[in-house]
Amino acid sequence: MYEQAASSWAVGLYSLLDPTKFLPFLPSLWDKQAIGSRYPNDTKVRETDVLVGYLVLFWVILYLVYEKCLNSLFRRMCFPLVQRSRIIEAVWNFGFCFGSICYMLSSAMQLLSFSPQEQGTTYRELGVALHKSFYFHQAGIDVLCHGAWIKGCANLLFASFVLNPYQQNYRWCTVTSTFLMYKTIDIVMVNICRILLCIFQTVGRPVSKLLFLLHCLTWIYLYLHYVPTFVLWSEEVKYARTEPGLWLWFAAECLDSVWLRLIGHAKATHWLEICLFPPPTQEAIELAGIHKRHRESLRKCNKRRAKKVELWQTLVCAMAIKKKIKRIREAKSNIGASTKDLEELEPFETQVDGELAEN
């Protein structure tokens, strides 16, 4: 009896670390029957790969339009340059990952017929193509825009080797789908933390620290337990044993770990910003310096203009006071002349009155 109770407790404790118990296992974001069986020949250019190429181009165009619109809006709202770019990047990632979560949680796995043929592109294939193309595009942004080569290589390897729907292994598809779900939730938490830290720098800082702590714990669970146990060293999944790209991806994720940044900058004043945001490139630093000097020159011009306006107003006031004093003097002189005439006329009037009285 005690042995049964102990074994049940042991199973329950292990279930806390087992993703099949801890969070719902996504049975098939893609599976071999829906996708892999349609393309038995590996040398054939698959329709999904062609769709991924078009979707990468779609993400590039959409991102350029999105960045242009939000950059104009935030410029009118007087957001600083670095803060604008951080908010734009965070909202972009948050929007896609939120849609990705809604997609993965939806139970409507239907066929989307792009053509009247029997082998049309399925709902699952579209999801795989969207995720692969987005991570390819994100790798380009990380490398070209931010200079984050390790992060870009990690996203590139993740899209190339982890998001592989053509593996004839149902267990691999299930493990990958579940990991993608966890990773997407973690990205949503990180970007909420970034948005709060950019917009509400004082009020949102405690909430950002709490979300950052959850992000650190999630990273430990994913890359120290889930990936080694269910992806790299699993007996049921033999794909990792023959694919070195998975090990390269895992190494890149470990090198880009949030814990390495946290340990390296724990004593810094702005450690949270350093851990959450990519370091600015040299071009961004120079551009920020140009903008700062431009603002200072505008401020100096405004000060000079204000001084000129103040001097002009002083001159106008001085001229007005001078004219007023002149009018007062003229009025006083006129009053003095009239009183003099009256004093001269008084003796003449008295003399005339006396002569009239004598007559």
pLDDT tens digits, residue range 73-118? 988 888 887 888 889 999 999 999 998 888 887 744 444 333 434 4
Per-residue model confidence (pLDDT) at position 242: 63
Which range, 247-256, 322-331, 340-349, has the best average confidence (pLDDT)? 247-256
Mean pLDDT, range 126-143, rounded to an integer: 89
pTM confidence score: 0.68
pLDDT grade, residue 358 (50/70/90)?
low
pLDDT of 351 above 70: no
| 258-297 core/surface letters (b: 16 or more CB in 10 A; e: else) | beeeeeeeeeeeeebbbbbbbebeeebeeeeeeeeeeeee
Per-residue model confidence (pLDDT) at position 39: 47
Per-residue model confidence (pLDDT) at position 312: 82
pLDDT tens-place string over residues 250-289: 999 999 898 988 888 878 777 888 888 877 666 666 666 7
How many Cβ atoms sit within 10 Å of the Cβ of residue 98? Answer: 16
Cα 111 from Cα 121, distance rounded (Å): 7
Mean pLDDT, range 313-322, rounded to an integer: 80
